[in-house]
Structure 1
Amino acid sequence: MIGRLRGTLIGKQPPSLLVEVGGVGYEVEAPMSTIYDLPGLGKEVVLLIHHAVKEDSITLYGFLHEAERTLFRNLLKVSGIGAKIALAVLSGVSTDHFARLVQAGDVVALTKIPGIGKKTAERIVVELRDRLDGMSGIPGATPRAAGAPLDAAGEATVALQQLGYKPVEVSRLVQKVAAEGDDAEAIIRKALRAALGG
C-alpha cells in the first residue's frame, strides 16, 4: 500500500493532481483544503496518501496534513459516505471546525456542507462523535463529557452558522476576530461587524 508520496507537482486540475516520483506520474485526488496550500507546478510536494483498492480501480487520495487523512478515513467508515462526499467535507470545512460541529451535534450546520443531507448529518454525529473525541490527529478535538458546553469560539461558530454563514467563512471570521478572554457574544458581534465590513 502507498502511504506517502514525495515528488514534483506537475499537474493541478482540482480535484486531481499529478505528482511525478522517480519518473512515474501518480494521479492523486485531493480536497480543496490541500490544493489551496500546494506549492506551484514544478515544485517538490509531500503528500500523505490514502490508497483505495476496489474491484475495478485503484485510487490515491492525497493530503498535506495527517489530521485531514485521519478525518477522511473516519468519514469513509460512516454508512452512506463515499470518497466523493468525504473530499467535499474536507473542502468545505476545517478538520477542527468539523470536529466541533460533530461534538456539538450540530446537524443543521453539517447539512450546509455540499453532499450532506439531514439523515447523513445525523449518522455522522452518531457514528463519529466518539471517534473524534480526544483524537490527537484532529486539532481542536479535545475530550469532553457528553453535553459539556463548547468553548466561546465553538459557541460563536455554531451560532454564526445557524445565522446562515458558510462553515469555511465562519471558521475564518472566528479565527480572525477571537481574542483571549472574549465570550461567545463578543466573538459573534466582532465576526458580524467583520462580515459586514464594519
Structure 2
Amino acid sequence: MIGKLKGIVDSYGEDHVILDVQGVGYLVHCSGRTQQALPPVGEAATLFIETFVREDMIRLYGFASPAEKSWFLLLQNVQGVGAKVALNVLSTLSPSELANAVAVGDKAMVSRANGVGPKVAARIVAELKDKAPGFSTVDPAVAGLAAQLEDRNAPAPVADAVSALVNLGYAQLQASTAIAAALREAGEGADTARLIRLGLKELAR
C-alpha cells in the first residue's frame, strides 16, 4: 500500500499530476486545490496517497495534507458521494472550510462544489457533523448555536438575528459567529435588534 510519494513533478493533466519517483512516473489524481499548491514541472513535491484497487483498475489519489486525505475518505461514506464528487468538494473548499461548513450546517457552502446538489449537500452536513469538530476551527459556541438553528431550538431573537445577517449577504458561518459573539456580550435575554447591532459591530472588526 502506498501512503506517500515524494518525487519530481513530471507533468500536469486536467485532474492529475504525474510524479516521477526515481524514474517511475505515477499518475496521481488530485483536487484542484492540491494541484494549485504543487510546484512547477521539474521541482520536488510530496503527496499523501490513497490507493483504490478494483478489478479493472488501480488508481492513486494524492493530497497536500493528511487532513485533506481524511476528508476525501469521510465524504465517500455519504450516499451519493464517490471519489469524483469528493475531489470536487475538496477543489472548492479547503479541509478547514469544509469542516467549518459541516460544523455549522452550512449546506449552501457545500453545494458550491461541482456535482453537489442541495440533497447531497444536506446529507454531507447531516452525516458528517459528528466528524467535523476534530478538523474545525469553529468556536464550539458557534457550532452549538448552528445545531440549535438546524433543529429549530434556538430562541426566536437569536434565529431572527442570524436570519437578518444572512439576508444582508453574510454567509451562514459569518452570521452564526457574529451572533454567538453578540450573545456572549449581551446575554441570553437580548432582543433581536440588539443582537443584530452587536453582530454587525463584530463583523465590522
TM-score with structure 1 setting the length: 0.72
* Equivalent-residue separation in structure 2 for 1:139 and 1:105 (angstroms): 12
Counterpart of 1:73 in structure 2: which amino acid? L
Residue segments in structure 2 that go unaligned for 5+ positions in a row:
148-161, 175-197
Aligned twin of 1:163: 169
1:188 deviation in Å?
A: 4.7
8 A Cα contact 1:109 1:162, kept in partner: no
Higher deviation after alignment, 102-111 or 34-43: 102-111
8 A Cα contact 1:67 1:139, kept in partner: no
Please give the per-residue CA displacement for 1:114-166, whole angstroms capped at 9, x wherever unaligned. Answer: 11111111111121000122x2xx3526766963359xxxxx9xx6799398x
1:3-152 matches, within 5 Å, as: 3-133=3-133, 135=134, 138=135, 140=137, 147-148=144-145
Matched length:
166
1:184 and 1:40, CA in 2 relative to 1: closer, same or farther beyond 3 A?
farther
Aligned twin of 2:200: 185
* Equivalent-residue separation in structure 1 for 2:78 and 2:36 (angstroms): 26
Please give the per-residue CA displacement for 1:1-45, whole angstroms capped at 9, x wherever unaligned. Answer: 111001111111231100011211000011111111111111111
Please give the per-residue CA displacement for 1:89-119, whole angstroms capped at 9, x wherever unaligned. Answer: 1111111111111111122222222111111
Taking only aligned residues, the RMSD between alpha carbons, in angstroms, comes to: 3.1
Q: Secondary structure at 1:147's aligned position in 2?
A: helix
8 A Cα contact 1:96 1:141, kept in partner: no
1:160 and 1:48, CA in 2 relative to 1: closer, same or farther beyond 3 A?
farther
Q: Secondary structure at 2:80's aligned position in 1?
A: coil
Please give the per-residue CA displacement for 1:33-58, whole angstroms capped at 9, x wherever unaligned. Answer: 11111111111111100111122111
* Equivalent-residue separation in structure 2 for 1:161 and 1:70 (angstroms): 34
1:143 and 1:188, CA in 2 relative to 1: closer, same or farther beyond 3 A?
closer
Residue segments in structure 1 that go unaligned for 5+ positions in a row:
151-155, 171-182, 191-198
Q: Secondary structure at 1:72's aligned position in 2?
A: helix
Rg: which structure is higher? 2
